[in-house]
Structure 1
Amino acid sequence: MKFAVNLVAESSARLGSLSEFARIPEAVFETPLLLLHTRGASVPHLSYDLLQMVSSGHHHMLQMPLVTLVDHTKNVKAFGKGIAEFAGLKEYLNYVSVQDSGTTTPEGYHEKNSISLWTRGGRKLVDPQTYISCIEALKPDMFQAIADGDTTQRSTDKRVRKSVDVTVKFAGVCADLKDKSDILKDTPMLASITGGYNIKERLRCIKELKGLGFAGYVIEGFHTNGESATNLLWEDVEPVLMEILSSLPENLPRAFHGPITPIMLLKLVSKGIDIFDATFPWLVAERGGALVFPNSLPKGNAPVTETLPSVKAPAVIATDEKEGKPVPEKSNDEVVDRVYEINLKDKIYFNDTRPLLEGCSCYSCRKYSRSYVHHLAATGELQGPILLMMHNLYHYIAFFRSIQHAIRENELQALQSKLDLFVCSRRN
């Protein structure tokens, strides 16, 4: 694999390309790159034909989390041709990540010599040797080294140090096993940068990983996947991220996994992150939402006038004696911010004959109305998430094309301002 930085904007946003993959040498991917999220080697809710319709025949790379494939590696190995042909997606390049960044990873279950993968069959402990054996069976075009990224802003210094120690140890073992493997020796492997929100530990991790011959880096440890990624605050992430990026080689790609919000994504792009995944549009489709945020600059979209869905207030269980104010009940549930979407389960769409998004040319918007999709969502029909996923993924792919164009034309700040204005107008 070859990575080239073709342009660096004033904001530090990078326009680059990934090319020279062994299995499909002619494939070239422009960065910032969107990885199409899969579960069990299939884009959720989309058949092969529907995926072709959404992707419009362009080259795309699939993100295949090992946690959704580990139970099937024996069958893939017996098949002998790798996960791409096994899944009937041989024209798509694939990248195997460790965890499913769209689904929350339970905290506190990694061990000294292995990590926990939470599969449909329960918890599985995977050490570096087992991990590389699974990767050999899958024969991906690119993969992530096993790591301990189980940290958040709440993590103690001891937990953060342990995550770095384990990650560095696992990375060394993976690099050694990869070099000895006839199947993987030429397959690019990305190292994971862990260390939570501790800058000192982040820099130690980078220092320990340099020189091991990695093809790029994945910045882990800011969240535990799933909804926790949508609640990241830029003021918390930025100081740590800037120290990380200033210490990484400029000639290698940098990836950031998780269903981060579009505004957070644009901020990460502006600082030089190159690779993201499509877990956000999937997460929105899963809860019955359709993306409506402005995804381009030239023509944009018609203004969205719907108010945000109401959020149930936490139950009041006591009154603060000093302040005289009610104290809400504590909850472990993540707060879901739906500012970028409309909720098709809402009854207000019962008689709404408009498309999901005015001006959108996806199949769902051209053929169906909000009222019909509302009916599907309200009754639990299987076609509901299919139509929502088609729209959301189409919308998000177009968003990335707009980001690439904005970097090229030095208009990334204008795109961010348009998105900020949209978010403020919906909240107000």
Structure 2
Amino acid sequence: MKFTVSLVAKSSARLGSLSEFTRIPEAVLETPLLLLHTRGAAVPHLSYDLMQMVSTENHILQMPLVTLVDHTKNVKAFGKGIAEFAGLKEYLNYVSVQDSGTTTPEGYHEKNSISLWTRGGRKLIDPQTYITCIEALKPDMFQAIVDGDTTSNSSVKRVRRSVDDTVKFAGICADLKEKSEVLKDTPMLACITGGYNIKERLRCITELKGLGVAGYVLEGFHTNGESATNLSWEDLEPVLTETLGSLPDNLPRAFHGPVTPIILLKLVSKGIDIFDATFPWLVAERAGALIFPNTLPKGKAPITETLPSVKSPALIAQNERDGSLGNENNKDELVDRVFEINLKDKLYFNDTRPLVEDCSCYCCRKYSRSYVHHLSATSELQGPILLMMHNLHHYINFFRSIHLAIREDQLQALHSTLEQFVSSRRSGKLDD
């Protein structure tokens, strides 16, 4: 795999490309890159034909091992790798360790292994077992096994151990990869851990040097799932700045997890190159449709949606003081739905508009909010299918706009548009 940086903006945002993959040498993918999230080697809710209706472009599929580990023996017996086993051989694929869209339980790693929480329960995976699984899957790129079990609240001892284990695991993986006839030419991304401790992250980078990795994954800032959508930029930014400043410029940097569009733009502006599509999937799972501005501003675009079903930040703070957030009836108040509309809301019972005006996705061209509300309210299977088609289409277009914004030095304008949108929705006021 070859990574080329073609443009670095004033903000440090980078345009580049990934190319020269062994299995599909003609594939060239532009960065910042969106990995299409899969579960069990399939994009959630979308068959192959439906996926083709969303996008026919080249993509890399993110395949979490936690959703595949129970099937690696079958894939190995098949002998041709996970891409052909899943009928997706025209797509490149990247095997990550955890499912970044699903919360990973904390506190279950052991000295020489990590925990994968599969449908069949907890499985302990050591580096040797991990590489055996990767050999069976034969991916186009994979992540080294990692202890990323840290958050902003982790102790110094837990952070230090996460670095020690991650470095040890990466060294073993690199050695086994070099000896493997199947994987010796397969790109491996090493992981940078250390929680929110700058000193430990810099130590991790130093100790990983010399492994000959193809890129880096910044791990340990969250525990996947909703924890990624609640990241604090004030806590993240100084650690990220120091970490990225110590990484080589000629290798790609990845950040996994369903971060919000605003945080994603800030990560892009810092020089992160690879993200995943777990955010549009999480939104679809809770019957939400993405409506945030996903293109560069063209004049004064009115905000046509408010937030009737989301509690204000002030009320959430009041609930925290009252101790009422632990109540089962208040679970939804923890989910910030500012970038979406909730199609289970009765507000859309008679709404004949598409999910987003002028959206060209299949759902918006064929169906109304009212119809999708009916599907969501009655738990019809077509509901999440249509929402996933729309959300993924919306997010892919968002990345097209990011590429254009970097090229035309308009990333700040795109960020300001999103900030204005969020501010308008939170205040409940409409633009004139």
Q: TM-score range by the shorter chain?
A: over 0.9
AA matched with 1:327 = D
Distance between the aligned counterparts of 2:317 and 2:101, measured in 1? 29
Task: Give the SS at the match of 1:163.
Answer: helix
- What is the aligned partner in structure 1 of residue 326 from structure 2? 331
Is the CA contact (8 Å cut-off) linking 1:103 and 1:225 kept in structure 2? yes
Q: Deviation of residue 315 (structure 1)?
A: 12
Task: Give TM-score scaled by structure 1 length.
Answer: 0.96
Task: Give the SS at the match of 1:62.
Answer: strand
- What is the aligned partner in structure 2 of residue 409 from structure 1? 408
Q: Is the alpha carbon distance of 1:22 and 1:326 closer, same or farther for their aligned partners in structure 2, counting shifts above 3 Å?
A: closer
Q: Is the alpha carbon distance of 1:326 and 1:123 closer, same or farther for their aligned partners in structure 2, counting shifts above 3 Å?
A: closer
Distance between the aligned counterparts of 1:314 and 1:266, measured in 2? 26
AA matched with 2:75 = V
Is the CA contact (8 Å cut-off) linking 1:315 and 1:328 kept in structure 2? no
Distance between the aligned counterparts of 2:180 and 2:20, measured in 1? 20
Task: Give 1:93-172 correspondences, 5 Å limit.
Answer: 93-172=92-171
Moved segments of 4+, more than 6 Å: 312-317
Is the CA contact (8 Å cut-off) linking 1:315 and 1:329 kept in structure 2? no
Distance between the aligned counterparts of 1:21 and 1:248, measured in 2? 23
- What is the aligned partner in structure 2 of residue 37 from structure 1? 37
- What is the aligned partner in structure 1 of residue 345 from structure 2? 346
Distance between the aligned counterparts of 1:10 and 1:77, measured in 2? 47
Q: Is the alpha carbon distance of 1:206 and 1:369 closer, same or farther for their aligned partners in structure 2, counting shifts above 3 Å?
A: same
AA matched with 1:93 = L
Distance between the aligned counterparts of 1:316 and 1:415, measured in 2? 33
Distance between the aligned counterparts of 2:373 and 2:120, measured in 1? 33
- The one-character-per-residue Cα deviations of 1:201-240 (angstroms, maximum 9, x if unpaired) are 0000000001100000000000000000000011100000
- The one-character-per-residue Cα deviations of 1:101-140 (angstroms, maximum 9, x if unpaired) are 0000000001110000000000000000000000000000
- What is the aligned partner in structure 1 of residue 50 from structure 2? 50
- What is the aligned partner in structure 2 of residue 284 from structure 1? 283
- The one-character-per-residue Cα deviations of 1:256-297 (angstroms, maximum 9, x if unpaired) are 000000000000000100000000000000000000000001
Distance between the aligned counterparts of 1:345 and 1:303, measured in 2? 21
Task: Give 1:244-259 correspondences, 5 Å limit.
Answer: 244-259=243-258
- What is the aligned partner in structure 2 of residue 25 from structure 1? 25
- What is the aligned partner in structure 2 of residue 320 from structure 1? none
- What is the aligned partner in structure 1 of residue 430 from structure 2? none
- What is the aligned partner in structure 1 of residue 88 from structure 2? 89
Is the CA contact (8 Å cut-off) linking 1:292 and 1:304 kept in structure 2? no
Aligned length: 420
Distance between the aligned counterparts of 2:298 and 2:287, measured in 1? 27
Is the CA contact (8 Å cut-off) linking 2:310 and 2:336 kept in structure 1? no
Please say if 1:229 is aligned against 2:211. no
- What is the aligned partner in structure 1 of residue 377 from structure 2? 378
Task: Give TM-score scaled by structure 2 length.
Answer: 0.95
Distance between the aligned counterparts of 1:302 and 1:330, measured in 2? 34
Q: Deviation of residue 309 (structure 1)?
A: 1.6
Task: Give the SS at the match of 1:26.
Answer: coil
AA matched with 2:420 = L
Distance between the aligned counterparts of 2:53 and 2:325, measured in 1? 45
Q: Deviation of residue 242 (structure 1)?
A: 0.4
Distance between the aligned counterparts of 2:2 and 2:318, measured in 1? 57
- The one-character-per-residue Cα deviations of 1:290-343 (angstroms, maximum 9, x if unpaired) are 0000000155976322324233967999xxxxxxx9632463969211000000
Q: Is the alpha carbon distance of 1:138 and 1:369 closer, same or farther for their aligned partners in structure 2, counting shifts above 3 Å?
A: same
AA matched with 2:323 = P
- The one-character-per-residue Cα deviations of 1:76-116 (angstroms, maximum 9, x if unpaired) are 00000000000000000000000000000000001110000
Task: Give the SS at the match of 2:182.
Answer: coil
Distance between the aligned counterparts of 1:47 and 1:299, measured in 2? 35
Distance between the aligned counterparts of 1:254 and 1:230, measured in 2? 19
Is the CA contact (8 Å cut-off) linking 1:314 and 1:328 kept in structure 2? no
Q: Is the alpha carbon distance of 1:326 and 1:140 closer, same or farther for their aligned partners in structure 2, counting shifts above 3 Å?
A: closer
Distance between the aligned counterparts of 2:316 and 2:33, measured in 1? 39
Task: Give the SS at the match of 2:190.
Answer: strand
AA matched with 1:235 = E
AA matched with 2:216 = Y
Task: Give the SS at the match of 1:239.
Answer: helix
Gaps of 5+ in 2: 428-432
Task: Give the SS at the match of 1:192.
Answer: strand
Distance between the aligned counterparts of 1:264 and 1:348, measured in 2? 29
AA matched with 1:239 = P
AA matched with 1:36 = L
